[in-house]
Amino acid sequence: MSALPVPEWVARTRAIACAAPLQPRETLHVAGQAVGSVQRGLLPDLGLDNLRAMGIELMQRDGAWWLQAEAGDSATLALNRLAQVLRADGRCGPWRDEQLAVRNAQGESIATVERGAVRVLGLATLAVHLVGVAPDGRLWVQQRAADKAMFPNRWDTLMGGMVSARDDLDTALARETWEEAGLRLDALHDLRHGGFFELNQPSDEGDGCGYIRERIHWYVATVPDGMLPDNQDGEVQGFALLPADQVQAWAAQERFTPEAALVWAGYWGW
């Protein structure tokens, strides 16, 4: 652990990262297993009879919601139909045509759903971040694109991305590092898993009825001299190589996303 005192920005960011929902939420069960939550009143507002007509069977019991579908393809079909209804009603995050795993309390995948619906349904997600270190100790950072739905123009670690349904942590790390930074993991040195932390906070997705539940795994690797990151997917507008004290100063000024700030805190042992 670091002998240095924990900076105020670390405590502030941790408080942001463990905030309660702004409005009461009700547990969402899928295939008989608790997987997420919905803001109270959201599902009735969508029209339960209309949902039923679309093959989405929802039942309320004991202050919770139960989606009547078997784990696997049946639950995936029902959840993605629900995602389409949320989208049509303006209650969905940015639509990505990307499926994320729907996991039970044991971390087992029981279905998949469109990424744009996960916050509104309060589903737990996984993400990966990469701390890119130059041989002289400076740190690679990226600036997020101006059209990103969350934290546009903010700074981030070298790479940060969600784990899709088709990925595990290793394949997500490799895929996202290439898409965001144009780097192959086998070209980097001393790759290691640094740790993980939980992010729980309200989200403005779905017209303010979303809630983020995400476990973020972060990794560290050395980027060899002469190797420059090059974005491939249009989600990054640029990179910078900064000394550690400047990264800390930017974190204190909230120029990084909260997730990136917490990765930096973990990297320095705070």
SS3 at position 148: coil
Q: Are residues 245 and 168 in the same domain?
A: yes
CA distance 28 to 24: 13
Q: Are residues 261 and 160 in the same domain?
A: yes
Q: In Å, how far are 4, 146, 221 from 266, measured between CA atoms? A: 13, 27, 14
Q: Are residues 146 and 12 in the same domain?
A: yes
Question: What is the span of the domain harbouring residue 114?
Answer: 25-124
CA 184 to chain centre: 22
Angle, CA 189 vertex, CA 186 and CA 193 arms, to 5°:
90
Phi, psi of 236 (to 5 degrees): -130, 135
Domain-embedded: residue 217: yes
The pLDDT tens digits for 141-176 are 999 999 988 899 999 999 999 999 999 999 999 999
Residue 45 sits in a domain whose CATH number is 3.30.750.160
Given 106, 124, 142, the domain boundary residue is 124
Q: Are residues 139 and 255 in the same domain?
A: yes
Given 78, 94, 124, the domain boundary residue is 124
Average pLDDT over residues 54-71: 95
Q: Are residues 179 and 204 in the same domain?
A: yes
The CA-based dihedral angle spanning residues 175, 230, 240, 139, taken in that order and rounded to the nearest 10 degrees: 40
Count of structural domains within the chain: 2
The pLDDT tens digits for 191-244 are 999 999 999 999 988 889 999 999 999 999 999 999 999 999 999 999 999 999
Task: Give the per-residue pLDDT at 126.
Answer: 97
Structural contact between residues 206 and 86, judged by C-beta atoms closer than 8 angstroms: yes
Nearest CA among 29, 22, 88 for reference residue 54: 88
Given 78, 104, 124, the domain boundary residue is 124
CA atoms 13, 14, 18, 19: torsion sign = negative
Q: Are residues 130 and 188 in the same domain?
A: yes
Task: State pTM to two decimals.
Answer: 0.93
Instruction: Please report, rounded to a whole number, the percentage of residues in the chain having pLDDT higher than 70.
Output: 99
